[in-house]
Amino acid sequence: MFQFDSDLPSALERRGISRRTFLGFCAAMTATLALPPRFIPRVQAALEGADRPILIWREFQDCAGNTESLLRSSHPAIADIVLELFSLEYHETVMAGAGKQAEAAMEKVIQEQKGKYLAVIEGAIPMGQGGVFCTVGGRTALDIARQVCSNAAATIAVGACAWDGGLVRGAPNPTEAVGVQEAVPGIKVVNLGGCPHNAANTVAVLVHYLTFKELPALDQYGRPLFAYGNIIHDQCERRAHYDAGRFVEEWGDEGHRKGWCLYKMGCKGPQTNYNCPRVGWNDGTSWPVKSGHGCIGCAGPRFWDTMDPFYNRLPNVPGFGADVTAGQVGLGITAATALAFGAHGVASAVRAQVRPKEAVEKPDANKLPAETPAIQATEEKPE
Amino acid sequence: MAATIRPLGLSAEQPAEDRPKRDELVRVYVWELPVRAVHWLIFFSMIVLSVTGYYLHNPFFIVRGQAAFTLATMRFIHEVTAFVFSMAFVVRIYWFFVGNVYARWKAFVPVTRRQRRGLREMLKYYLFLRWVAPQEVGHNPLAAGMYLLVYLLFLVQILTGFALYEWVLGTEPLRTMFGWLPRLINIQYLRETHYFLMFISFAFTIHHVYSALLVAIEEANGLMGSIFSGHKFVPAKVVEQDAAEIEQDAAPNGEPAK
């Protein structure tokens, strides 16, 4: 195995990453973590002094999209710095080893570094039929996850699938896929939902761990608050158009060209907690709403089922066709009620006309003929 | 008990010859001030909430100009009105326990024999199996049962509405009070429920206004005016019987109180 005989600054220098870039990275991570700038030297010192903690990155029911999101960042810094900061002992997509040797290397880490290494999980874990739908090296994903996660210092679930099953769990979920926290209950886990995860957030979690020796503050879904503490809608650059009431009505219309709010096009920004607008994608170049497409809520819980349809405000009404909205059903019920009571009104008017006089004068015996005894016939008249 | 609901002109101390005849209409104070106030608060806030809420779902007009602030204003009005609505609801719930016999919670749960009979007879009237509507001093038990469902609908609206509000705000004490809801039911379904129940409240309103008009015309009891003044006009014998029956219901072992 490749031995690291130098500290982080010289290792970065060998990769062609200048100190300026590294300090820029420290500043960016501090900002992502929503820490004030005075933490930059602390982050820098922690990263330089880190003794290369071990990462085991396992992929299960995934598309490697989260790996790609991390590695393909055009700006080289994030991936390079992570690769130098951590000792990535297992990662199917980037490791040189393969087969039994790779599995043996992972086994060795789990034995020797028990409770010290960090586990990163990408992809959902199938529970159906004993987990046979995803096996690596002859072992089920569930089996591997149990071993890797329960021996790790902490587990980081990257992407929607690893968090809560994501797309893989979408109805009808034939493999009974779930996220890591459900597959291996009781482990210490940070969920980084989103399809894919935002590499900046994931690395910021790692940086937080290295700097403060603990995981960042989490919300009720186990997601770091620095990234998932606010809804997208409240951070959106198109928010002013929403507040003003200026909306895109159809793709390519005047409002769309002018960059108005995509709310009416089914944007899920108001439902979704994420820091897309602040951190951005492709090294902060853009994010979906900035590029003119509504948010699909990929960072929301069970987004594949709950945020569907992506181009409507609200989910379809169960039991009705795909094109029937809640408003149409509601209007139908309202109209039916109006019709029913309108008809009742006409019938009541007719009743008032044909009502026999004695029925009004003697309401105690006002039944129609051949009815049950009059209401007060059995009652004692109170005096 | 009975003394509190016996209307003017029907008190036991009055000499028998001064008391109204059995078919004579007497003026009964039925709806106390909080009941009427809550009714109209809910009436106005439902209109405001429906208009602004529908705009929030589907902003159906677009204001031109740089200074436009339409949706944010709608949202602000919606949220403020939601607090008014919720407080009116809370007051009404409080009045379930301290109000008069027509406003108490017991009037809304049709469990006694008298209530079940009234419910059955009113249903027969609606289904054209009776010529004349049975007369009641307070709510007829069928209407009361419907109002109970409506209060339930209001409760669901308040819960889902505040859950949506908390989702944006994310602060205490709303987080503790309503934050549990989106964890049980996805926020999108809460939003849909909140929107859909607006139409159910429309349907109820149609029924409510129609039935009130129908009963007001058929019984000529001043029902429409009663929600303004609090007074209904009911034949003396109905008032007497109602009082006696309520007294009987209130008695511990079903015996009329002496």
Q: Domain holding A41: CATH number?
A: 3.40.50.700
The answer to whether position A358 is within a domain reads no
Would an 8 Å CB–CB cutoff place B167 in contact with chain A?
A: yes
| Contact at CB, A264 and B58, closer than 8 angstroms | yes
Q: What is the DSSP string of A21-37?
A: HHHHHHHHHHHHTT--G
Lowest pLDDT segment from A106-120, A294-308, B98-112: B98-112
Comparing A173 with A13, which gets the higher pLDDT?
A: A173
- pLDDT of residue A264 exceeding 70, the answer is yes
Summarised one tens digit per residue, pLDDT across range A153-168 is 999 999 999 999 999 9
User: Considering only CB atoms, which chain A residues are within 8 Å of B57?
Assistant: 313-314, 327
Which of B119, B181, B193, B206 should we substitute to test contact with A (largest number of A Cβ atoms within 10 Å)? B206
Residue B257 Cα, gap to closest chain A Cα (Å): 12
Q: How confident is the model at residue B3 (pLDDT cuts 50, 70, 90)?
A: very low
Q: Verify that A112 and A207 share a domain, yes or no.
A: yes
Would an 8 Å CB–CB cutoff place B117 in contact with chain A?
A: yes
Average pLDDT over residues A51-55: 87
pLDDT for position A336: 94
Q: Verify that A88 and A169 share a domain, yes or no.
A: yes
Q: Verify that A217 and A270 share a domain, yes or no.
A: no
The answer to whether position B103 is within a domain reads yes
Is the confidence metric ipTM above 0.90 for this complex?
Answer: no
The B residues from 50 to 69 touching A (CB cutoff 8 Å) are: 57-59, 61-63, 68-69
Would an 8 Å CB–CB cutoff place B98 in contact with chain A?
A: no
Total count of residues recorded for chain A:
383
What's the CA gap between A10 and A229, in Å, rounded? Answer: 37
Q: Verify that A267 and A163 share a domain, yes or no.
A: no
User: Considering only CB atoms, which chain A residues are within 8 Å of B132?
Assistant: 355, 359-360, 363, 366
Q: How confident is the model at residue B13 (pLDDT cuts 50, 70, 90)?
A: low
pLDDT for position B1: 37
A148-174 per-residue burial string, b: 16 or more CB within 10 A, e: under 16 = bbbbbbbbbbbbbbbbbbbbbbeeebe
Average pLDDT over residues A67-96: 80
Q: How confident is the model at residue A294 (pLDDT cuts 50, 70, 90)?
A: very high
- pLDDT of residue B131 exceeding 80, the answer is yes
- pLDDT of residue B245 exceeding 80, the answer is no
Comparing B162 with B109, which gets the higher pLDDT?
A: B162
| Contact at CB, B131 and A366, closer than 8 angstroms | yes
Q: How confident is the model at residue A369 (pLDDT cuts 50, 70, 90)?
A: very low
Percent of chain A past pLDDT 90, that is, above it, reads 54
pLDDT for position A316: 85
Q: Verify that A207 and A241 share a domain, yes or no.
A: no
- Structural domain including B213 reads 2-250
- pLDDT of residue B195 exceeding 80, the answer is yes
| Domain boundary residue, one of A226, A256, A276 | A226
Q: Verify that A117 and A242 share a domain, yes or no.
A: no
pLDDT for position A71: 82
Q: Verify that A220 and A239 share a domain, yes or no.
A: no
| Contact at CB, A242 and B189, closer than 8 angstroms | no
Q: How confident is the model at residue B87 (pLDDT cuts 50, 70, 90)?
A: very high
Average pLDDT over residues A263-273: 92
Q: How confident is the model at residue A41 (pLDDT cuts 50, 70, 90)?
A: very high
CB pairs under 8 A between A and B: 138
Average pLDDT over residues A335-359: 88
| Domain boundary residue, one of A262, A280, A306 | A306
For all residues of chain A together, what is the average pLDDT? 86
- pLDDT of residue A363 exceeding 60, the answer is no
The answer to whether position B255 is within a domain reads no
Which of B160, B186, B204 should we substitute to test contact with A (largest number of A Cβ atoms within 10 Å)? B186
3-state secondary structure of A214: coil
Comparing A11 with A374, which gets the higher pLDDT?
A: A11
HEC string of chain B equals: CHHHHCCCCCCCCCCHHHCCCCCCEEEEECCCHHHHHHHHHHHHHHHHHHHHHHHHHCCCCCCCCCCCCHHHHHHHHHHHHHHHHHHHHHHHHHHHHHCCCCCCHHHHCCCCHHHHHHHHHHHHHHCCCECCCCCCCCCCHHHHHHHHHHHHHHHHHHHHHHHHHHHHHCCCCHHHHHCHHHHHCCHHHHHHHHHHHHHHHHHHHHHHHHHHHHHHHHHCCCHHHHHHHCEEEEEHHHHHHHHHHHHHHHCCCCCCCC
The answer to whether position B165 is within a domain reads yes
Of the candidates B131, B188, B218, which has its C-beta nearest A356's C-beta?
A: B131
User: Considering only CB atoms, which chain A residues are within 8 Å of B187?
Assistant: 271, 300, 306
Of the candidates B129, B186, B245, which has its C-beta nearest A306's C-beta?
A: B186
Percent of chain B past pLDDT 70, that is, above it, reads 87
| Contact at CB, B199 and A355, closer than 8 angstroms | no
The answer to whether position A44 is within a domain reads yes
Would an 8 Å CB–CB cutoff place B184 in contact with chain A?
A: no
Q: Verify that A171 and A275 share a domain, yes or no.
A: no
The answer to whether position A330 is within a domain reads no
| Contact at CB, A337 and B240, closer than 8 angstroms | no
| Contact at CB, B195 and A233, closer than 8 angstroms | no
Average pLDDT over residues A305-313: 88
- Structural domain including A246 reads 232-306
| Domain boundary residue, one of A226, A250, A265 | A226
The answer to whether position B163 is within a domain reads yes
Q: How confident is the model at residue B157 (pLDDT cuts 50, 70, 90)?
A: very high
The CATH number linked to B158 is 1.20.950.20
Q: Verify that A125 and A47 share a domain, yes or no.
A: yes
User: Considering only CB atoms, which chain A residues are within 8 Å of B203?
Assistant: 333-334, 336-338
Summarised one tens digit per residue, pLDDT across range A165-223 is 999 999 899 999 999 999 999 999 999 999 999 888 998 999 999 999 999 999 888 99
Of the candidates A271, A333, A375, which has its C-beta nearest B199's C-beta?
A: A333
pLDDT for position B15: 56
Average pLDDT over residues B108-114: 84
Q: Verify that A221 and A259 share a domain, yes or no.
A: no
Q: Verify that A218 and A263 share a domain, yes or no.
A: no
Which of A242, A312, A334, A381 should we substitute to test contact with B (largest number of B Cβ atoms within 10 Å)? A334
The answer to whether position A122 is within a domain reads yes
- pLDDT of residue B256 exceeding 60, the answer is no
Average pLDDT over residues B216-236: 85
Q: How confident is the model at residue A6 (pLDDT cuts 50, 70, 90)?
A: low
- pLDDT of residue A102 exceeding 70, the answer is yes
The answer to whether position A354 is within a domain reads no
Of the candidates A243, A301, A302, which has its C-beta nearest B71's C-beta?
A: A243
Of the candidates A244, A306, A330, which has its C-beta nearest B68's C-beta?
A: A244
pLDDT for position B27: 84
Residue A232 Cα, gap to closest chain B Cα (Å): 10
pLDDT for position A12: 82
Q: Verify that A238 and A217 share a domain, yes or no.
A: no
Residue B60 Cα, gap to closest chain A Cα (Å): 9
The answer to whether position B30 is within a domain reads yes
Of the candidates B59, B189, B202, which has its C-beta nearest A245's C-beta?
A: B59
The answer to whether position A363 is within a domain reads no
Average pLDDT over residues A78-93: 83
- pLDDT of residue A18 exceeding 90, the answer is no
What's the CA gap between A164 and A29, in Å, rounded? Answer: 26
The answer to whether position A120 is within a domain reads yes
Structural domain total, chain B: 1
- pLDDT of residue B205 exceeding 90, the answer is yes
